[in-house]
Amino acid sequence: MLKKYKTVITISLLILLVYLLRIFIFPKIAEKISPMPGIRSAENNNTFVDTYPNQVIENLWISYRDKIQKDGRVIDRSRDYLTTSEGQSYALLRSVWMDDKDTFDRVLKWTTNNLGKREDDQLFAWKWGKNKEGNWDILVDEGGMNTASDADQDIALALIFAFKRWNDTNYLTYATDILNDMWDKEVLELNGEYYMLAGNWAKDEPSPTINPSYFSFAAYSVFAQVDPYHPWMKLKETSYRVLTKATENPLNYPTSANIPPDWVSLNRQTGEIFSVVHDDKTTNFSDDAFRTVWRVGLDWTWYKNPAALEYLNKLTFLKNEWRNNNRLLGSYKHNGDPEVEYESYSMYGSVLSYFVSADPELGREVYERKIAPLYNTDTEEFTQELGYYSENWVWFGMALYHDKLTNLYESIKP
């Protein structure tokens, strides 16, 4: 009888051991020797993305397009279903690049009907959502009727591209109306220099506010061809000078890490750039400033502008940070100190153009490790929910990396 009990106990212990092995040991071994079911290895995934970039970029557009409301409204679900002129402008640019006229027209119609309600110009209110009364409209109480000059510029560029791609002069007429009003409401002339301000609200400020990531350098060369009545190329020159000053100036720190800030202010008397005066805005290199690098990179890609390459070569902080830490964080102070301890997908998408121009091998490393693995070859969309903002900027970064963001105004001949 005692022997029988010993046998039962032994078998029970063996069963318990096998159970513990299955729960705690075998999965750890499996993780090291094979990917999870349904998920391709990073190496195979990257090979697919590199081999079929056109398909990947198109699939990611389709996935994003399907999230746009049927009437053409782009929704930021992380911010109480907010809609911004920025979001509408991204959808317009992406749809015209992808030759998706139906989506372009739907987004443009919603944008015009809902954000184009400013009485004195053809510019766009920047913020639309659910107000205190429970109605969906421009959030006037939150300054939503004001403009954001980056969105106005991107919408104008998208319209010009639409004119060339689909041969409809109505798009061009709309674009030139917007360009004209931008000069009236968003561009400041000071001592013979022209400054693109953050929006109409900044023009009457004692110290006008500038967001360097709103400078659409490549677009200015396009605007100059369709609108010869305004000095777009002078604006472009001034914008590069402002960006360089904002980057090199220590602003509110003893030193600068030579990275662009989110916001700065302009001295009306001297034209000097200094730390932004608004308490709700910072000089950090963060979600706004990331885009500066992409916009400069686009100018280099389209026009091989020496000013663009000269600026990109200044951003050695990014190279050093990657080499030292094998990652980039989601926000840095202007002096280079980390502001957060997490990474940002939009950061990688936006600054990829720097790495590609400054060190192509390093650019490929960043792309292969941080961008390409985000594509799921089975579902043909991102491996996870990135959010409205990151989905856009990862896509813009991938498309620029693979040279898919064509200057449609010059590439499409009459």
The pLDDT tens digits for 154-195 are 999 999 999 999 999 999 999 999 999 999 999 999 999 999
Residue 127 lies in a domain: no
pLDDT of residue 358: 87
| Confidence band of 414 (pLDDT split at 50, 70, 90) | confident
CB atoms within 10 A of CB 342: 9
pLDDT of residue 43: 58
**pLDDT of 15 above 80:** no
Q: How far apart are CA 153 and CA 400, in angstroms?
A: 19
Residue 4 lies in a domain: no
**pLDDT of 17 above 50:** yes
Tell me the per-residue pLDDT of 115-142, one tens digit each, with 9 for 90 and over: 999 999 999 999 999 999 999 999 999 9
**Which of 150, 152, 262, 287 is the catalytic position?**
150
Q: What is the pTM of this model?
A: 0.89
CATH number at residue 298: 1.50.10.10
Residue 211 lies in a domain: yes
Among 1-10, 249-258, 301-310, the minimum mean pLDDT is found in: 1-10
Tell me the per-residue pLDDT of 30-50, one tens digit each, with 9 for 90 and over: 332 223 233 344 556 778 888
| Confidence band of 336 (pLDDT split at 50, 70, 90) | very high
Domain span at residue 344 reads: 148-411
Q: How many residues does the chain have?
A: 414
**178 and 167 Cβ atoms separated by less than 8 Å:** no
Q: Strands of 79-156 (E only): list them.
A: 83-84, 127-130, 136-138
Residue 129 lies in a domain: no
Judged on CB neighbours under 10 Å (0-12, 13-18, 19+), 160 is buried
**pLDDT of 222 above 70:** yes
Query: Is 102 in the active site?
Result: no
- How large is the average pLDDT for residues 288-302? 98
Q: What is the dihedral of CA 278, 179, 219, 147, to 10 degrees?
A: 30
Residue 383 lies in a domain: yes
When divided into structural domains, the chain yields a total of 1
Residue 75 lies in a domain: no
pLDDT of residue 22: 44
Residue 141 lies in a domain: no
**pLDDT of 237 above 70:** yes
Chain-wide mean pLDDT for the chain? 91
Residue 262 lies in a domain: yes
